[in-house]
């Protein structure tokens, strides 16, 4: 059955929710990209999550010049709570989420709405690229949507959903795990959204893990729509977020009854332990001195014991040292494999200081 696209006067309103916390140096470029969209009508909802810098002044300045910007101000409660505040305020037929330090390409909203209307989709997923610091360079960060298509609910559950549990046969886990790079039908979103998780790490992955199985039609758009810029929580991991990583994987284990999915999720957890700690080591936030703190956190978690039971013979020097509670040996292995990355990280920091 043919569904004609709406005319300009019938175009559905799109609400773009922008969580913002202390982003005085970059929120302007984000808002400029939203105001430059080829599509209208759009309402932009920045949620000022208790910023203590000049962010509030910048947002107020934009709102004074642009009636389509509607600011929400709240005490600092985290990005999860900020997105929920925006959802409660949104009036659009469709909702998008854009982090305040990222941006959209000019025709992103137009392309996503067209596909949503044409395909009667509950969710549209676009592609994204990473913006490399201040050099203006782009590169694809993770997987790629090979071609535009619609995934019906039955196919998603049988083929795509396992990607959330470490069985990513389509290579799109990082693409459909994010709340950004997506257009949601608001009525569907409000009817099916879970309670706020309170996580500060990968909270969007947990959100979509619960929302996606309820969608009847998910449209994959083979087009770069989102510009992810280096920074934010994922670009600035800290030891304090390690607890949230443990909570994330523990929660995911409760969301499936399939033993094969649970085992693959435990494997994904072990890989994430290594990559998480490697990222901290590269940035200098993890040292030999605080490695025992990490081991204490792991030993106090049920999922660490479950992962060791699921993979008792995994031959990995780093994880073997962690199992033996040998913090020094574990850090030595981690340090050995991240040496070149540490050098590159420090060189980039020096270069950035020179060009700023």
pLDDT at 1 exceeding the cut of 80: no
Per-residue pLDDT tens digits for 187-210 = 999 999 999 999 999 999 999 999
Higher-confidence position of 46 and 339: 46
pLDDT of residue 8: 59
Domain ranges in the chain are 8-234, 238-355
Closest by CA to 109, choosing from 101, 121, 97, is 97
pLDDT at 47 exceeding the cut of 80: yes
Question: Residue 248, SS3?
Answer: helix
Distance CA 289, CA 292 (A): 7
pLDDT of residue 232: 45
pLDDT at 355 exceeding the cut of 50: no
Token readout for 56 is 């509030």
Per-residue pLDDT tens digits for 89-130 = 999 999 999 999 999 999 999 999 999 999 999 999 999 988
Distance CA 137, CA 22 (A): 25
Closest by CA to 47, choosing from 14, 73, 25, 23, is 73
Which phi and psi (to 5°) does residue 182 adopt?
-140, 150
Percent of the chain with pLDDT over 70: 87
Find the mean pLDDT for residues 34-62.
98
For residue 131, the cross-strand partners are 138, 229
Q: What's the whole-number average pLDDT of the chain?
A: 89
pLDDT at 185 exceeding the cut of 70: yes
Per-residue pLDDT tens digits for 122-179 = 999 999 988 765 555 556 656 789 999 999 999 999 999 999 999 988 888 878 889 9
pTM here? 0.89
CATH fold of the domain at 8-234: Spore Coat Polysaccharide Biosynthesis Protein SpsA; Chain A (3.90.550)
Instruction: Provide the sign of the torsion angle of the four alpha carbons 281, 167, 266, 211, taken in this order.
Output: positive
> Is residue 44 within 8 Å of 76, Cβ to Cβ?
no
Distance CA 249, CA 246 (A): 6
């Amino acid at each position: 059955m043919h569904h004609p696209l709406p005319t300009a006067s019938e175009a559905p309103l799109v609400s773009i929710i922008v969580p913002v916390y202390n982003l005085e140096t970059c929120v302007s470029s984000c808002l400029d990209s939203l105001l430059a969209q080829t599509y209208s009508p759009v309402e932009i909802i920045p949620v000022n999550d208790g910023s203590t810098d000049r962010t509030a002044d910048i947002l107020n300045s934009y709102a004074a010049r642009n009636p389509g910007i509607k600011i929400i101000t709240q005490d600092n409660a985290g990005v999860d709570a900020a997105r929920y505040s925006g959802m409660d305020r949104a009036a659009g037929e469709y909702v998008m989420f854009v982090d305040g330090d990222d941006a959209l390409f000019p025709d992103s909203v137009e392309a996503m709405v067209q596909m949503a209307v044409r395909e009667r989709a509950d969710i549209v997923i676009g592609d994204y690229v990473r913006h490399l610091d201040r050099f203006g360079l782009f590169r694809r960060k993770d997987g790629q949507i090979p071609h535009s298509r619609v995934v019906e609910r039955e196919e998603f559950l049988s083929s795509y959903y396992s990607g959330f549990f470490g069985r990513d046969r389509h290579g799109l886990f990082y693409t459909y795990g994010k709340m950004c790079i997506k257009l949601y039908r608001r009525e569907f979103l409000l009817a099916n959204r879970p309670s706020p998780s309170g996580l500060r790490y990968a909270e969007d992955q947990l959100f979509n893990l619960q929302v996606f199985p309820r969608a009847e039609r998910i449209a994959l758009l083979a087009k770069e729509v989102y510009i992810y810029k280096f920074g934010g929580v994922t670009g600035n991991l800290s030891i304090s977020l390690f607890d949230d990583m443990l909570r994330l994987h523990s929660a995911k284990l409760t969301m499936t009854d399939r033993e094969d999915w649970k085992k693959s999720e435990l494997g994904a957890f072990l890989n994430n332990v290594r990559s998480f700690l490697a990222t901290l080591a590269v940035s200098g936030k993890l040292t030999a001195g605080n490695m025992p703190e990490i081991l204490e956190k792991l030993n106090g978690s049920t999922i660490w014991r479950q992962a060791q039971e699921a993979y008792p013979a995994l031959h990995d020097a780093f994880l073997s040292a962690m199992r033996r509670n040998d913090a020094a040996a574990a850090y030595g292995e981690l340090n050995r494999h991240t040496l070149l990355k540490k050098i590159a990280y420090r060189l980039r920091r020096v270069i950035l200081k020179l060009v700023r």
